[in-house]
Amino acid sequence: MKTRLLLLALLLLFYFNASATHIVGGEFELQHLSEYNYRLFFNLYFDQLNGSPGAKDGTVRVTIFEKGTNQSVTTVILPLRSEKPMSYTNVGCTTSNLKTTKMVYSEDIYLDPAIYNSPAGYYVAWERCCRNNTINNIAAPESAGTTFYMEFPAVVKEGAPFVNSSPRLSPPPNDYACVGELFYYNFSSTDADGDELVYDLVTPLNGYSSPNNVSPPASSAPYSEIRWLPGYSNASQIQGAPALSIDSETGRLTVTPLNVGLFVFGVRCQEFRNGVKIGEVRRDFQLLVKACHRNETPEVTAVTHGSSTPYQEGQVLRIGPTDSRCIKVYFTDPDKDEPLTLAAKPVNFNNHYFRFEGDTTGIVNTANGQRVLEASLCLDRCFTTNGETYLLDLITSDDGDNGCGLPRQDTLRISMIVEPMSDTPPTLSFSTNKRVIEVAAGETVSFDVTGSDPDEEEVIVSAVGKNFNLNSANITFSPAAGVGTVSAPFSWQIDCEAVKQPSYEIAFTVTTPTCGQNVTRTETIEIRTKQFTIEDNVASGEQTICSGQVPDGLTGSTPTGGPAAYTYSWEVSTTSASSGFTEAPGSSNAQDYSPEALTSTTWFRRRVTSGLCTESISAPVKVTVNKPIRNNAVSGNQTICKNTAPALLKGTAPQGGNGSYTYRWEYSTVSGNSGFRPAEGNNTAQNYQPAALSQTTWFKRIVQSQPCEAVPSQVIQVTVVPTITRNTVSGNQLVCYAQAPAQLTGTTPAGGSGGYTYRWEYSTVSATAGFAPAPGTHTNAAYTAGPLTQNTWFRRVAASGPCEDVSNTVLVTVDPLPAPPTAEGAIICPAETATLQASSPAAGYVLEWYDQPAGGRLLHTGSTYTTPALHTTTSYYVQTVNSNGCATAERIPVSATVMPPTADAGPDQTIIQGKYAELRAKGGTTYTWSPATSLSDPTLPNPVAKPQETITYTVTTTSEYGCVYTDEVTVTVLPRVEPTNAITMNGDQVNDTWHIRNIEHYPDCRVKIFTRWGALIYESQGYKEPWNGTHHGKSLPMAAYYYVIELGVGKEQVAGSITLIK
């Protein structure tokens, strides 16, 4: 038989150093994980027989492009995650042709919505050369490349996430095709998003790889296609009758090949959502076509019950409720030793209420074996066509070429109309005739429940409580199941919990599952419980006591009602009136109850029981227990000065008792243990304010809160000490404004507790008001004040323990500073004295002259001061002093201004002999120049000088203040330059260069020589190397040339011509 091997060429970036003959196939897959997180897979099918082990790579590099612009977005490296051999239908088929490994590469990637948002979408691509050189339908396969390709959409659409996983392609087929025989393969794929998938054949992509560049970086689309050999095309990728084709909806590939060989073809799976394409996956396949041994087709026939001839297709079988529901089936094959299988496949319905009896597999035509296999197709009793005609295919198949090729089949289609078999409903019965049963607590209800089915089908007996759960009651019942008839016992022992509800209904059901539906019958039994109540159960004796006391006895009424005699049980709770109750201690089973001593509030109640379950609980009786009075404390001991009142005596808020308290304060002048009597004044409040005390006194507080006993606080002592005396300070003082007074001192006090502290205070208001702690250190026995600016009063507060005493007040009078004087400075010439004058602001003040603004030497006392001879401007300082010796706050500066020299003869000048210089003097009102030689007028500030040699002039000026000054200026005279007017270039060493006499006096000169047309042929800064009549090393022709000499003195230039003579 035929065996076929599909060799896949994959769609993913995979880089190997070996040739591409190792690639069987593969595909991309993009799986959505969460939000914008995806997993990119690459499934590679590796040829273990022909591929080099070195061609396996640990990672694969893939490239993602934007479809609209074909721009590269990113490159992703996919690590190898798993590798395992592929399983084939028959391992024996793989020994010579098939040995393939599946290698799975994957990596989790994040498709950033800020990047992957192009409406055109994206694609993944990988290129590799070269294809198998044994391919028979394309040109030059050994140099043909492979490009693998997958498209996917943007991850956002119209601002919202667009979630998509690519189609998951079916695994590659593991068979080869046979010449002249039909080959088919179900290529149908799955899509996680439920998108529509459309299949078609496409020409495989070649791309840009080549034998010289087997694994180039992935280029962007479009990609070139492979070249078909003559007779092949996209419509006829494998020649056949018919040629290779694919169903666009189911993905079923079919071909009946005409030629043997290895053929490559391409399949595309496109993905559509709401009619719009959103992606695609491409896969290249290689199909091996072989010349196979002939395989005969098996045969299948059927014979209905009571018929002597085989069933003919198109005949409609009618099977009634009482007809036989089995059909005889016979299947065989002309080939020897041929394995066969038999199957039934519904065509236009989907239930499977049928089965085979007998052989559905076996081998025919063996030596001494069967030629025909026999089985029966039997319809279940529930099978019905509901009046329609159902079609059922009986299919027999051989095993192909020993299990390697596609099997041959024969199909017999049965048409039938089938009516269901009749069914009798089940019945339900009980071992009791009662449907309402009345019981009391302690009794038991018991009976059997029986379900029966006349058709001897499965029977199930069950029960359910109406509005209650059977499992929550003391019920014994288990659902029972069987065939035909089944019984289940029911038993309920009525306990106290059950009688809490007056009535219960239980629904018993018998069920028969028939043809996929349940046929049921239900009957209800009611169980009623007998009800009793106890009345007149009242407990009394509510009261309030103090902790540790025994309450009065509690009494209980005589109850009525109930089914039997009464028993009593007193219960107690310290939690609340509704929870926490336990059996009361002591004798608690009498009609009345006497509690023991209590330490916390307690509730009591009486439980009365009659019979098994009837009981009554009285309303609780509360015995309120007040805690003992506690937290009765008063503020601590005090020490006060004699004849002063102590601070308020504060008492804490007591606790315990009934929450309402009465107070009584007591005192003693004897001791803390005796002599106490009610305190004077308001002594019934929580706090107490004693009056002024003259001797040490003890206090305590008594607190009362019914019904608890009164409780005294601790005793506190108020100690009384004598007052302070002999606290006096030194007398009044007079100081100048902003000066500090002499230290203030005081006597050593007496009285108090023996040790003293001090606090000096001051006031600028009066001797009796406005006092505050004095600035600086004011806690010593004496006090040193800082500078004062206004009259200030001082006093000392002496303290010892609780006692304080304020001394007498002393006044420090501040004398205001006198106003400053007015003064005038003087202007003098150098080496003269100046007389400075000042005026006092008032009579009786003295004026003092100093050389510094503060401190310094006293120079003179009086209204005028004459300075020594001065050469520079000097400042002096004068102040006013009043009769108390107080000086002005600041001395007034007075300046003796010495006029500086003002004569300026101007800058030195340089002229050329025969030229003139204009002198420019300033700084005076009159001018005199000397010597007067070569001057136009020696009394002008700016005379014109025309000396013949270098000379120095002196100017004498008189200023507006009569001061005389002198200054000098030098005029340098340079000789004239005298250029020669020719150069004789005859080589006799005479006049061979251009000589300029006196040019050495002008080192900053610039010499330029031009042709008659203005072309510059020579230029030099300075003239150290005379010109020799050349230009760029070549002799110039005889002619007249023109020169300009810039002397660098003012703007003087010398110009003329020079002639070259040869």
pLDDT digits (tens, 9 = 90+) for 95-138: 455 577 888 999 999 999 999 999 999 999 988 888 878 889 99
Average pLDDT of the segment spanning 827-845: 90
Please tell me whether residues 75 and 129 are part of one structural domain. yes
Q: What is the pLDDT of residue 50?
A: 63
- The SS3 call for residue 1001 is helix
Please tell me whether residues 801 and 913 are part of one structural domain. no
Assigned domain for 633 exists? no
Domain final residue, candidates 418, 449, 483: 418
Dist. CA 881–CA 888, nearest whole Å: 7
Higher pLDDT, 387 or 122: 122
pLDDT at 901 over 90: no
Assigned domain for 944 exists? yes
Q: What is the pLDDT of residue 1?
A: 34
Domain final residue, candidates 930, 954, 974: 974
**Residue 907, C-beta contacts closer than 8 angstroms, at least 6 positions apart:** 969
Q: What is the pLDDT of residue 18?
A: 39
Please tell me whether residues 174 and 311 are part of one structural domain. no
Q: What is the pLDDT of residue 850?
A: 94
Q: What is the pLDDT of residue 19?
A: 44
Please tell me whether residues 587 and 716 are part of one structural domain. no
**Residue 97, C-beta contacts closer than 8 angstroms, at least 6 positions apart:** 3, 5, 49, 176, 288
Least confident of 289-298, 805-814, 846-855: 289-298
CB 573 within 8 Å of CB 603: yes
Distances (CA, A) of 251 to 244, 248, 283: 12, 6, 13
Domain extent, residue 677, equals 638-721
Nearest to 620 by CA among 644, 602, 647: 602
Condensed to tens digits (0 to 9), the pLDDT of residues 630-642 reads: 999 999 899 999 9
- How many residues are given for the chain? 1062
Assigned domain for 627 exists? no
Dist. CA 258–CA 253, nearest whole Å: 16
Q: What is the pLDDT of residue 91?
A: 44
In terms of Cβ atoms closer than 10 Å to its own Cβ (0-12, 13-18, 19+), residue 364 is buried
Please tell me whether residues 24 and 132 are part of one structural domain. yes
Which helix (H) or strand (E) element contains residue 346? Answer: strand 338-346
Please tell me whether residues 946 and 1040 are part of one structural domain. no
Strands, sheet with 458-465, edge to edge from the N-terminal-most edge strand: 436-439, 517-529, 503-514, 458-465, 480-483
Condensed to tens digits (0 to 9), the pLDDT of residues 1002-1018 reads: 888 999 999 888 889 99
Least confident of 270-284, 575-589, 899-913: 899-913
Dist. CA 802–CA 469, nearest whole Å: 84
Distances (CA, A) of 764 to 300, 811, 889: 135, 10, 22
Average pLDDT of the segment spanning 204-224: 89
**Residue 843, C-beta contacts closer than 8 angstroms, at least 6 positions apart:** none
Assigned domain for 904 exists? no
Please tell me whether residues 57 and 168 are part of one structural domain. yes
- The SS3 call for residue 568 is strand
Condensed to tens digits (0 to 9), the pLDDT of residues 468-525 reads: 999 999 999 999 999 999 999 999 999 988 988 999 999 999 999 887 788 999 999 9
Q: What is the rounded radius of gyration, in angstroms, for the C-alpha atoms of the chain?
A: 67
What would the two tokens of residue 110 be?
Answer: 């994040």
Q: What is the pLDDT of residue 88?
A: 55
Give the Cβ contact number of residue 990 at 10 Å. Answer: 7
Average pLDDT of the segment spanning 369-392: 89
pLDDT at 175 over 80: no
Q: Which amino acid is at 428?
A: L
Distances (CA, A) of 839 to 823, 842, 843, 883: 6, 9, 10, 17
Q: Considering the chain, what is the average pLDDT of its residues? A: 89
Nearest to 1011 by CA among 978, 1061, 1059: 1059
Please tell me whether residues 700 and 584 are part of one structural domain. no
Q: What is the pLDDT of residue 475?
A: 94
Assigned domain for 578 exists? yes
CA angle 917, 923, 929 (to 5 degrees): 45
Please tell me whether residues 753 and 826 are part of one structural domain. no
Average pLDDT of the segment spanning 360-375: 89
Assigned domain for 903 exists? no
Dist. CA 960–CA 940, nearest whole Å: 17
DSSP 265-277: EEEEEEEEETTEE
DSSP 61-123: EEEEEETTT--EEEEEEEEEEEEEEPP-S-GGGGSSS--EEEEEEEEEEE--TTTS--TT-EE
pLDDT at 8 over 80: no
Quote the percentage of the chain above a pLDDT of 70. 95
Dihedral, 855, 860, 864, 866 alpha carbons, nearest 10: -100
In terms of Cβ atoms closer than 10 Å to its own Cβ (0-12, 13-18, 19+), residue 727 is buried
Q: What is the pLDDT of residue 612?
A: 85
The pLDDT-based confidence of 405 (bands split at 50, 70, 90) is low
Average pLDDT of the segment spanning 270-283: 95
Please tell me whether residues 123 and 238 are part of one structural domain. yes
Give the Cβ contact number of residue 653 at 10 Å. Answer: 8
Least confident of 43-57, 253-267, 562-576, 861-875: 43-57
In terms of Cβ atoms closer than 10 Å to its own Cβ (0-12, 13-18, 19+), residue 383 is buried
DSSP 917-953: EE---BSSSEEEEES-TTBS-TTSSS-EE--SS-EEE
Beta strand 261-273 with 276-290 is antiparallel
Assigned domain for 837 exists? yes
Average pLDDT of the segment spanning 387-397: 92
Higher pLDDT, 368 or 276: 276
Average pLDDT of the segment spanning 13-31: 61
Question: What's the domain count of the chain?
Answer: 9
Least confident of 163-167, 293-297, 321-325: 293-297
Q: Which residue has the tokens 């072309």?
A: 1015
The pLDDT-based confidence of 5 (bands split at 50, 70, 90) is very low
Assigned domain for 1 exists? no
DSSP 590-636: SSSB-----SS-EEEEEEEEETTTEEEEPPPEEEEEEPPPB---B--
Average pLDDT of the segment spanning 795-822: 92
CATH for 935: 2.60.40.10
The pLDDT-based confidence of 788 (bands split at 50, 70, 90) is very high
Please tell me whether residues 579 and 510 are part of one structural domain. no
Higher pLDDT, 341 or 57: 341
Q: What is the pLDDT of residue 24?
A: 65
Please tell me whether residues 173 and 25 are part of one structural domain. yes
The pLDDT-based confidence of 526 (bands split at 50, 70, 90) is very high
Distances (CA, A) of 552 to 128, 574, 599, 854: 106, 18, 15, 101
Domain final residue, candidates 265, 290, 315: 290
Q: What is the pLDDT of residue 876?
A: 94
The pLDDT-based confidence of 403 (bands split at 50, 70, 90) is low
- Residue 681: left (phi > 0), alpha (psi -120 to 50), or beta? left
In terms of Cβ atoms closer than 10 Å to its own Cβ (0-12, 13-18, 19+), residue 733 is middle
Dist. CA 1023–CA 1044, nearest whole Å: 13
Condensed to tens digits (0 to 9), the pLDDT of residues 555-607 reads: 999 999 888 899 999 999 999 999 999 999 999 999 999 999 999 999 999 99
For the ranges 163-167, 439-443, 752-756, 1026-1030, the maximum mean pLDDT occurs at 163-167
